A and B are shown apart, each in its own frame.
Chain A
C-alpha cells in the first residue's frame, strides 16, 4: 500500500515569511501533484511534477520532485494571506486505474 506522509499538518506564520511543506513516501510514483483546497470546494491542481529532480515555479511557489520520485516539497516565498488554505500532495499510481494517493494535507494560515 502506497502512503504519503505530509508535514507539517498545521502551519501558522506571519505574512512575508517563507515556508516549506514536505511530502514523503517509501514508494515510487509516476508523478506527483500538488493541490490547494478551499473550504467547501474540491482540490484544485497547482502543479504536476513528473521527472526525478524536477523543479517547477509558480510565482512565489517552488515545487521540487525528489531524485528517486518518492518525495516532494513545496516552498512558498514571502507568504501572503491569500496563500491560506489546505495544501495536498498526491502521488499518481498507474496500475490499471490511474489513481491518486493523497497525503493528509497541510493546513496553512498566513496572518496579516
Chain B
C-alpha cells in the first residue's frame, strides 16, 4: 500500500470518446506524475504536475491533458480516444524534492480498453 489511489480501476470506451482518470496522491505529496503502460511494455512518462502547474511533459499529443487540484489530487483527460490508447494508466506521487533518489510511489493504475 503506497497511499496512492486511482479511480476507476477499469474502464471501457469506444473510439472518439473522452475519458477522465483520477488520482489521489499520498498525504503530503505535492507532485503527481502520470504514466501509460501498454501491454508487455514498461511505463512511459506522460506528464507531471507540481503545485497545480504542469512541470514537464513526455512525447504525448495535446489530446492528453491534466489537472492538479489544491489538495494535490490529479486528473488525466484523454480526448478523441484511439485504439492505441488502450493501456494501464499509472499515477505516481512524490514529495516534490529534487534529490536524485526521490522515490515515486505508484497507484494501482486504471486499465483502459478502447474498442
Contact = CB atoms under 8 A, between A and B. Distances in A.
Interface of A: 1, 4, 6, 30-31, 33, 35, 40-45, 48, 50, 88, 90, 92, 94-105
B27 interface: no
B7 interface: no
A52 to B, nearest CB: 11
A41 B55 contact: no
A103 B9 CA distance: 24
B33 A97 contact: yes
Contacts, number: 83
A31 B33 CA distance: 17
Contacts of A98: 31, 33, 48, 94, 98, 102, 104
Contact of A50 (B31, B40, B56, B101): B101
B105 to A, nearest CB: 8
Chain A binding site: helix, strand, loop or mixed by DSSP? strand
Interface string B32-68: 0101000011111101101000011111000000000
A49 B49 CA distance: 25
Give the top 4 A-B pairs by smallest Cβ distance, nearest first.
A97-B56, A102-B42, A42-B106, A30-B100
Contacts of A97: 33, 45, 47-48, 50, 55-57
Contacts of B104: 45, 98, 100
Contacts of B108: 40-42
Contacts of A90: 42-43
Contact of B43 (A6, A43, A48): A43
A95 B4 CA distance: 24
Interface string B54-84: 0111110000000000000000000000000
